Amino acid sequence: MPTITSKPTGPIGFGLMGFTWTPTPTPDAQAFAAMSAALAGGANCWNAGEFYGMPGTRTANLELLNRYFTAHPSDAAKVVLSVKGGADLTSDHLTSQGDRTGVRRSVENVLRVLDGKVFLSIFECARVDKNTPIEETVAAIAEFVKDGRIGGVGLSEVSPETIRRAAKVHPIAAVEMEVSLWSREVFVPGGVADTCAELGIPIMAYSPLGRGILAGRFTKPEDLEDGDMRKIFDRFQPGNFEKNRVIVENLDRIAERKGCSKAQVCLAWVLAQGNKPGKATIVPLPGATGVDRVEENCKLVELSEEELEEVNGMMNEVDVHGGRYNEWMAPGSWEYFVGG
């Protein structure tokens, strides 16, 4: 069983972004049911964001957590909560603020909105501030760890070099990276996964289902509602979307033969990349807003060596069309931006 900030977590985590960073936020009754189902399924490593809300309601994700733990106070002790922040909430592009002033503003704001309803296990700046040494950023977060107000320091979208520099300042509780069948950059030799394995740092793998497309949630670009942020990402653009659907069709055949869902195949593949001697601990963070999806994601499926080879062979034979984000989001904002 993985351990993060000295607390055991289930093999599967839970990403909360989809509840609130959408034009149509999930109603509390539905969200609360899904959150309770996650805990019932052992998914107690939760990942939220200070800015996971639409303009004007940026802290909606944290407000949801406040309401949930107000209604379910006994669940607070079960959760390992990681929150991303360190961004200018007044900026449309959420410009990184990794300097001490920006970090302190962000952490204080997260703690204010959570209002003591749940302990903040990990705070991480969502992206590296190009204008601030990572040493300053980590030291600023570590001040809150030292006074007991938060549990640990996290990193997000970082390079191996940055991980090493950060770890010299303060122990790193976890590194959050995008990891899925179509985002495998962390596994290059000497890359993030190898570095985390060497330093004993767990990886929290966000978007392990390719933002839903690999699970078969969408069949065409028009399936995304107006205002859905995926509409601006390269891989979801008309032309790229249709080509990337080939991956889903291949997964469909494997899942059907195995008697499970495509999502379960994807999560099994991510888990198989770590969690063994010499490999990094990896906790996938699938998001879901309904009980059925949460329960599906929590039901573990194991791939045999032959099945893993089949999945890897399938991915090696197809091209992923489009970058992980898009061109305007790359310059100056994203340190670990291999493949988009």
For residues 89 and 99, the answer to whether their CB atoms sit within 8 Å is no
Q: What's the CA gap between 14 and 171, in Å, rounded?
A: 23
Q: How many CB atoms neighbour CB 23 within 10 A?
A: 10
List, for residues 75-128, the tens digit of each pLDDT value.
999 999 999 999 999 887 788 999 999 999 999 999 999 999 999 999 999 999
Q: What's the CA gap between 192 and 138, in Å, rounded?
A: 18
Name residues whose C-beta falls within 8 Å of residue 20's C-beta, 6 or more positions apart in sequence.
26, 52, 53, 54, 57, 60, 61, 64
List, for residues 139-162, the tens digit of each pLDDT value.
999 999 999 999 999 999 999 999
20-24, 95-99, 174-178: least confidently modelled range: 20-24
Local structure of residue 2 (DSSP, 8 states): -
Q: What is the CATH number of the domain that holds 283?
A: 3.20.20.100
Where does the pLDDT of residue 327 fall: very low under 50, low under 70, confident under 90, or very high at 90 and above?
low
Q: What's the CA gap between 96 and 329, in Å, rounded?
A: 12
pLDDT for 326 equals 56
The whole-angstrom distance between residue 259's C-alpha and the CA centroid of its chain comes to 27
pLDDT for 133 equals 97
Q: Is residue 328 one of the residues assigned to a domain?
A: no
Reference 263, options 229, 301, 225, 290; nearest CA is 301
pLDDT for 334 equals 45
Q: Is residue 186 one of the residues assigned to a domain?
A: yes
Query: Residue holding tokens 């990402």?
Result: 233
pTM comes to 0.92
Asked if residue 39 has pLDDT above 60, the reply is yes
- Cα 178 to Cα 15, 104, 127: the distances in Å are 12, 26, 12
Q: Is residue 76 one of the residues assigned to a domain?
A: yes
Active-site choice (52, 68, 206, 325): 52
Q: What's the CA gap between 307 and 256, in Å, rounded?
A: 13
Q: Is residue 254 one of the residues assigned to a domain?
A: no
Where does the pLDDT of residue 340 fall: very low under 50, low under 70, confident under 90, or very high at 90 and above?
very low
The helix or strand, by DSSP H or E, that contains position 154, with its residue range, turns out to be: strand 152-156
For residues 81 and 48, the answer to whether their CB atoms sit within 8 Å is yes
pLDDT for 324 equals 78
What's the token pair of residue 151? 């549990």
What's the token pair of residue 226? 């107006």
Query: Which percentage of the chain shows pLDDT scores above 90?
Result: 74
Q: Is residue 58 one of the residues assigned to a domain?
A: yes
Q: What's the CA gap between 302 and 215, in Å, rounded?
A: 17
68 is known as an active-site residue: no
List, for residues 258-269, the tens digit of each pLDDT value.
999 999 999 999
Residue span of the structural domain in which 274 resides? 3-220+266-299
Rg (CA), the chain: 19
pLDDT for 325 equals 66
pLDDT for 213 equals 84
What's the token pair of residue 288? 């879901």
Asked if residue 339 has pLDDT above 70, the reply is no
pLDDT for 332 equals 42
Q: Is residue 320 one of the residues assigned to a domain?
A: no
Q: What's the CA gap between 11 and 16, in Å, rounded?
A: 17
Average pLDDT over residues 307-328: 80
Q: Is residue 331 one of the residues assigned to a domain?
A: no
Q: Is residue 235 one of the residues assigned to a domain?
A: no
List, for residues 227-261, the tens digit of each pLDDT value.
777 777 888 888 888 888 888 888 999 999 999 99
Average pLDDT over residues 320-335: 58
For residues 316 and 245, the answer to whether their CB atoms sit within 8 Å is no
Name residues whose C-beta falls within 8 Å of residue 310's C-beta, 6 or more positions apart in sequence.
254
Name residues whose C-beta falls within 8 Å of residue 284's C-beta, 6 or more positions apart in sequence.
12, 13, 179, 205, 208, 267, 270, 271
pLDDT for 285 equals 98
What's the token pair of residue 307? 């099945």
Edge to edge, the sheet with strand 152-156 lists: 14-15, 45-49, 80-85, 122-125, 152-156, 172-178, 203-206, 282-285
Where does the pLDDT of residue 275 fall: very low under 50, low under 70, confident under 90, or very high at 90 and above?
very high
List, for residues 40-83, the tens digit of each pLDDT value.
999 999 999 999 998 889 999 999 999 999 999 999 999 999 99
Mean pLDDT of all residues in the chain? 91
Which residues are paired to 177 by β-bridges? Answer: 205
Q: How many CB atoms neighbour CB 101 within 10 A?
A: 9
Local structure of residue 234 (DSSP, 8 states): G
Q: Number of folded domains in the chain? A: 1
List, for residues 189-222, the tens digit of each pLDDT value.
999 999 999 999 999 999 999 888 888 887 777 7
pLDDT for 202 equals 98
For residues 214 and 220, the answer to whether their CB atoms sit within 8 Å is no
Tell me which of 287 and 92 has the higher pLDDT.
Answer: 287
What's the token pair of residue 136? 């300053």
